[in-house]
Structure 1
Protein backbone atom coordinates (compact mmCIF):
# COMPACT_ATOMS: atom_id res chain seq x y z
CA UNK A 1 0.00 0.00 0.00
CA UNK A 2 1.46 3.34 -1.04
CA UNK A 3 1.52 6.53 1.00
CA UNK A 4 -1.23 8.14 -1.08
CA UNK A 5 -3.53 5.12 -0.80
CA UNK A 6 -3.08 4.98 2.94
CA UNK A 7 -3.79 8.66 3.58
CA UNK A 8 -6.25 9.48 0.80
CA UNK A 9 -9.96 9.84 1.33
CA UNK A 10 -10.91 6.54 -0.30
CA UNK A 11 -13.16 8.10 -2.91
CA UNK A 12 -11.99 5.83 -5.73
CA UNK A 13 -12.38 2.76 -3.54
CA UNK A 14 -15.88 3.79 -2.52
CA UNK A 15 -16.93 4.48 -6.11
CA UNK A 16 -15.37 1.24 -7.32
CA UNK A 17 -17.18 -0.85 -4.73
CA UNK A 18 -20.43 1.04 -5.19
CA UNK A 19 -20.56 0.70 -8.99
CA UNK A 20 -18.56 -2.55 -9.28
CA UNK A 21 -15.79 -0.96 -11.37
CA UNK A 22 -12.05 -1.51 -11.09
CA UNK A 23 -10.44 1.01 -8.74
CA UNK A 24 -7.48 1.52 -11.06
CA UNK A 25 -9.83 2.48 -13.92
CA UNK A 26 -11.50 5.09 -11.74
CA UNK A 27 -8.12 6.50 -10.70
CA UNK A 28 -7.03 6.70 -14.32
CA UNK A 29 -10.29 8.44 -15.18
CA UNK A 30 -9.62 11.08 -12.51
CA UNK A 31 -6.06 11.59 -13.73
CA UNK A 32 -6.91 11.86 -17.44
CA UNK A 33 -10.00 13.96 -16.93
CA UNK A 34 -8.08 16.37 -14.70
CA UNK A 35 -5.80 17.17 -17.63
CA UNK A 36 -8.75 17.71 -19.95
CA UNK A 37 -10.97 19.60 -17.52
CA UNK A 38 -8.20 21.73 -15.98
CA UNK A 39 -8.39 20.28 -12.49
CA UNK A 40 -12.16 20.09 -11.98
CA UNK A 41 -12.03 16.36 -11.07
CA UNK A 42 -9.66 17.21 -8.21
CA UNK A 43 -12.26 19.61 -6.83
CA UNK A 44 -14.87 16.86 -7.11
CA UNK A 45 -12.49 14.33 -5.49
CA UNK A 46 -11.80 16.53 -2.46
CA UNK A 47 -15.48 17.46 -2.08
CA UNK A 48 -16.46 13.77 -2.25
CA UNK A 49 -13.69 12.93 0.23
CA UNK A 50 -14.97 15.47 2.71
CA UNK A 51 -18.53 14.17 2.33
CA UNK A 52 -17.39 10.56 2.84
CA UNK A 53 -15.30 11.56 5.86
CA UNK A 54 -18.26 13.33 7.47
CA UNK A 55 -20.48 10.34 6.66
CA UNK A 56 -18.04 7.92 8.33
CA UNK A 57 -17.74 10.22 11.35
CA UNK A 58 -21.53 10.34 11.77
CA UNK A 59 -21.71 6.54 11.53
CA UNK A 60 -19.04 6.17 14.23
CA UNK A 61 -20.77 8.62 16.57
CA UNK A 62 -24.15 6.98 15.96
CA UNK A 63 -22.69 3.55 16.73
CA UNK A 64 -21.16 4.78 19.99
CA UNK A 65 -24.42 6.40 21.06
CA UNK A 66 -26.48 3.27 20.35
CA UNK A 67 -23.99 1.09 22.27
CA UNK A 68 -24.88 2.85 25.54
Structure 2
Protein backbone atom coordinates (compact mmCIF):
# COMPACT_ATOMS: atom_id res chain seq x y z
CA UNK A 1 0.00 0.00 0.00
CA UNK A 2 2.82 2.41 0.83
CA UNK A 3 4.46 1.86 -2.56
CA UNK A 4 1.23 2.74 -4.31
CA UNK A 5 0.74 5.98 -2.38
CA UNK A 6 4.40 6.95 -2.88
CA UNK A 7 4.09 6.31 -6.62
CA UNK A 8 0.91 8.38 -6.89
CA UNK A 9 2.46 11.20 -4.85
CA UNK A 10 5.61 11.32 -6.98
CA UNK A 11 3.64 11.15 -10.23
CA UNK A 12 1.22 13.86 -9.18
CA UNK A 13 3.02 16.80 -7.61
CA UNK A 14 5.01 15.63 -4.57
CA UNK A 15 3.86 18.55 -2.44
CA UNK A 16 3.11 16.53 0.68
CA UNK A 17 6.34 14.55 0.54
CA UNK A 18 8.41 17.69 -0.01
CA UNK A 19 6.70 19.50 2.86
CA UNK A 20 7.14 16.47 5.10
CA UNK A 21 10.83 16.20 4.27
CA UNK A 22 11.51 19.90 4.82
CA UNK A 23 9.50 20.21 8.03
CA UNK A 24 10.51 16.86 9.52
CA UNK A 25 7.03 15.32 9.52
CA UNK A 26 5.93 12.08 7.95
CA UNK A 27 4.32 12.35 4.53
CA UNK A 28 1.16 10.63 5.69
CA UNK A 29 0.62 13.13 8.51
CA UNK A 30 1.00 16.04 6.08
CA UNK A 31 -1.47 14.37 3.71
CA UNK A 32 -3.96 13.81 6.51
CA UNK A 33 -3.66 17.39 7.68
CA UNK A 34 -4.44 18.61 4.15
CA UNK A 35 -7.47 16.34 3.98
CA UNK A 36 -8.78 17.38 7.41
CA UNK A 37 -8.14 21.04 6.76
CA UNK A 38 -9.98 20.75 3.44
CA UNK A 39 -13.03 19.30 5.17
CA UNK A 40 -13.07 21.90 7.93
CA UNK A 41 -12.44 24.92 5.72
CA UNK A 42 -14.50 23.82 2.70
CA UNK A 43 -11.59 23.20 0.34
CA UNK A 44 -9.43 26.30 0.76
CA UNK A 45 -6.19 24.27 1.39
CA UNK A 46 -6.63 22.80 -2.07
CA UNK A 47 -5.80 26.24 -3.47
CA UNK A 48 -2.67 26.30 -1.31
CA UNK A 49 -1.78 22.78 -2.49
CA UNK A 50 -2.00 23.76 -6.17
CA UNK A 51 -0.05 26.99 -5.55
CA UNK A 52 2.73 24.97 -3.90
CA UNK A 53 2.67 22.45 -6.74
CA UNK A 54 2.96 25.25 -9.29
CA UNK A 55 5.84 26.83 -7.38
CA UNK A 56 7.68 23.50 -7.12
CA UNK A 57 7.34 22.91 -10.86
CA UNK A 58 8.62 26.41 -11.62
CA UNK A 59 11.65 25.82 -9.39
CA UNK A 60 12.38 22.50 -11.10
CA UNK A 61 12.18 24.16 -14.50
CA UNK A 62 14.51 26.95 -13.39
CA UNK A 63 17.04 24.44 -12.09
CA UNK A 64 16.96 22.53 -15.37
CA UNK A 65 17.48 25.68 -17.45
CA UNK A 66 20.47 27.07 -15.62
CA UNK A 67 23.47 24.82 -15.44
CA UNK A 68 25.63 27.18 -13.35
CA UNK A 69 25.19 30.21 -11.17
CA UNK A 70 26.76 32.43 -13.83
CA UNK A 71 24.09 31.63 -16.44
CA UNK A 72 21.52 34.42 -16.29
TM-score (norm 1): 0.84
For residue 15 of structure 2, the aligned residue among 11, 14, 20 is 11
Aligned residue in 2 for 1:48: 52
Please tell me the root mean square deviation across aligned C-alpha atoms, in Å.
Answer: 1.3
Aligned residue in 2 for 1:37: 41
**Gaps spanning 5+ residues in structure 2: where?**
none
> What is the Cα deviation at residue 7 of structure 1?
2.3
Counterpart CA distance in 1 for 2:19 and 2:42 is 22
1:59 aligns with 2:36: no
Higher relative contact order (CA 8 A, sep 6+): 1
